[in-house]
Amino acid sequence: MFGHAKLEPAGPVVAGTVGTWKLTYTVGSLGLDDGGTLKVAWRFATDWGRPQFSDPAAPDYASFSTTGPASLRARFDPKGHVRPWQKCLVLDVFDDGLRPGDVIELVYGDTSGGSPGSRAQTFCEHTFEFRVLVDCHGTGEFVRLDSSPEIEIVSGPAANLVLLTPTAGVVGEPSWLGVKLEDAWGNPARSFEGVVNLSSRRGAEGLPRRVVFTPQHRGVQRLPFTPTAQGVIRLVADAGNLHAVSNPCVVVPDPPAYRPYWGDLHGQSEGTVGTNTVADYFAFARDSALLDCCSHQANDFQVTDKLWDEICNATVHFDQPGRFVTLLGYEWSANTGCGGDHNVYFRYDWKPIHRCSQWQIRPERVGESDRTPLDRLYATLRNHEAFTVPHVGGRRANLEWHDEQIEPLVEIYSAWGCFEWLFEEALQRGYHVGVIAGSDGHKGRPGASYPGPGQFGVYGGLVCIYARELTRASLWEALRARRCVATTGQRLHLWVEANGHPMGAIAAISGAPEITVRAVGTAGLERIELRRGLETVYTHLPLADRPRSRTRLRVSWSGARILGRDRATRWDGRLTLENGTIRSATGWAFDSPDEGLIPADPGSSVAWTSITTGDEDGVVLQIEAADNAVLRFETAPATFRLPLADLGDEPFLFDAGGIRRQVVVERLWDEALPAEVEFTYADQTAPAGEHAYWVRLFQEDGARAWSSPIFLTVPPQ
């Protein structure tokens, strides 16, 4: 009655492939009237290239035609249909109607005018659907076809080698090493076939020299080994031209009181606005990301009773104490004016869901079990063993609401960007909260959530939870106690304590605060800031006694446009060195293959494409410059000229407005930075009263980590 559609080619598509796909719609028995419309919708999370109709020679050009007498008008509307099928190519029919059997042909990536084609989605999906909807009579009422074309998105060839290991070990206790091959977009290279050579296995008894991969391994292997000596283990491997060094494993002689476990407690699947099934989600976290723990967080207003049962079942099924721990939860997704986004976590299985509303699942929109605004949710959760975590995604959390019994943590980082301002607002309000990071992933890759070219700006974060053992009860206690560290996704080691109290503690002390920091990075440690509330009281520079380079500079830009949904800032631009020569330029902290340096004028200019959502991007320069050399920086958010004679050992900062948007020009060091740092600082200037002491760590590769605060009450002097 409403017609049918087919897609050619219909076979599997390699993630990120540039190609051409033809969708053919045959008009059904009702015809398609003058004023009618055809929509082809994609899911919200997809990063398939945005179709454009104006430049036949440019990427993602789409063409359209019909065999009937009508004319067609096309547009791409990112909010053209109902969530999650929001991204729509819309074809309006006018000047005449179409008869039954007439055909509309839509070509994504039409190369006839010189376009290279359309870039496919960069992450894997079992059933990527071109959902076809039709309004036959021009009434605004759309009907979904009984069957819409689907294709599978599969991973590409291996482009990156990754080694993962626990960040702590004990001499003589079994441990493990994860060996993973990823394609250019961060998907596990499922079809990889070859050999990985472990070129360094020092301190790791039981590891083979060669690891043979077949497609049955699906790009990932987890190998047992036993640490044999105290110290830091870093394992090294090669696979052809691919090279990898593992994250550090800090080995101690005796079992510690608390062990670090890595988790991504924030993401969702296709039941709401994500990708693939709930079971796929947990399986990826365990088997591909090699996490210790995970939680599924679906937007509540889209969670049907059937989906909630599926989430509960999967949470029970995948929970394996000692190997992989799951937490039941969901995302309470009220508008910011009613409290904003908060993740909800339960201590036990099969708990009821209390939604902010049932906006997408019931005609009446609100049910008896729903809880809005946020204080009503707090009141209900007090009757369960549950806690909430405010975060910023599409909606941002509103910290005017807070309940200390229910809310121990704030999410500081996710694939949406860096939200240090949210955590600092909580401290400014006097809340006792720690920090957590997660992916808020929508791409079915919890724990390894690469951004791609879409609306997610950065690699997803991770939380390191210091617990007594890998069980739900122990992780629950550690999270409630705020004994955790947030990172931008790197499994580095960071431990902070003060006057004998661990991260997250609330304590009164008798003398001056003494804070001890131990950090072992995945790259060189550039600086570690000790913060007292919103003030930096001490900055540890590992090379503070060394002179900074006169020829090696870093220019970086960061921040977001606004607090809300469309926060991304585009920094496409260039810099030019006048009266000097740029000997080399290296991209710094770019987040995906869609960003980075682009060809410019050799020796004098560097250009780039870049977006930031609170994070940093930049370029490292090796230069030769005369005394009168000037650096000229040109982007839409910021333009300035800086005489290099004015740049000393302190960074130059240019304020670009918005939310912590700035450009920083600074001299680096010629010497290599250490990857291991330990220090103690006594804060003799602390006034009487309670203070939140926390650490912000910066690696030379742009990675960051944050410790949860220790809340110390200092007595009067």
The mean pLDDT value for 308-319 works out to 98
Q: What is the pLDDT of residues 473-504, one digit of tens each?
A: 999 999 999 999 999 999 999 999 999 999 99
Predicted confidence band of residue 365 (pLDDT cuts 50, 70, 90): confident
Banded model confidence at residue 457, pLDDT cuts 50, 70, 90:
confident
Three-state SS sequence of 120-177 = CCCCCEEEEECEEEEECCCCCCCEECCCCCEEEEECCCCCEEEEECCCEEECCCCEEE
What confidence score (pLDDT) does residue 288 get?
Answer: 98
Listed in sequence order, the residues at least 6 apart from 9 whose beta carbon sits closer than 8 Å to its beta carbon are 21
Whether the model pTM is above 0.75: yes
Triad 154, 156, 160: Cα angle to 5°: 130
Distance between CA atoms of 376 and 370, rounded to whole angstroms?
9
Strand partners, 619: 555, 587
Q: Is domain 492-546+671-717 classified as CATH 2.60.40.10?
A: yes
The answer to which of 322-336, 445-459, 480-494 has the lowest mean pLDDT is 445-459
pLDDT in tens, 665-681: 999 999 999 999 999 99
Integer Cα distance of 669 and 674 in angstroms: 12
Fold of 160-252: Immunoglobulin-like (2.60.40)
User: Is pLDDT of 41 > 80?
Assistant: yes
* Mean pLDDT computed over 106-133: 97
Does residue 154 have a pLDDT over 90?
A: yes
Q: Distance (Å, rounded) from C-alpha 175 to C-alpha 545?
A: 38
> pLDDT at residue 705 above 90?
yes
Of 398, 702, 418, 436, nearest to 567 by C-alpha is 418
pLDDT over threshold 90, residue 469: yes
**183-228: pLDDT as tens digits:** 999 999 999 999 999 998 899 999 999 999 999 999 999 999 999 9
Predicted local distance difference test score (pLDDT) of residue 255 = 96
Q: 3-state DSSP: the chain helix, strand, coil percent, rounded to 5?
A: 10, 45, 45
pLDDT digits (tens, 9 = 90+) for 399-440: 999 999 999 999 999 999 999 999 999 999 999 999 999 999
341-365 mean pLDDT: 91
- For position 564, what pLDDT does the model report? 85
CATH architecture of 259-491: Alpha-Beta Barrel (3.20)
Residue 363 has pLDDT above 90, yes or no: no
CATH fold group of domain 4-154: Immunoglobulin-like (2.60.40)
The pLDDT assigned to 503 comes to 98
The β-bridge relationship of strands 710-714 and 506-508 is parallel
Is 137:62 a contact under the CB 8 Å cutoff? no
Q: What is the pLDDT of residue 599?
A: 84
Q: Which residue has the higher pLDDT, 321 or 562?
A: 321
Q: Report how far residue 175's alpha carbon sits from residue 169's, in angstroms, rounded to the nearest whole number.
A: 7
Do β-strands 386-390 and 409-414 pair in parallel, antiparallel, or remain unpaired? unpaired
Q: Check residue 305 and give its pLDDT.
A: 94
* Residue 231 CB contacts under 8 Å (≥ 6 apart), including other chains: 203, 250, 251
Model pLDDT for residues 613-646, shown as the tens digit of each residue? 999 999 999 999 999 999 999 999 999 999 999 9
Mean pLDDT of all residues belonging to the chain: 96
Mean pLDDT of all residues in 19-42: 96
User: What pLDDT is attached to residue 27?
Assistant: 96
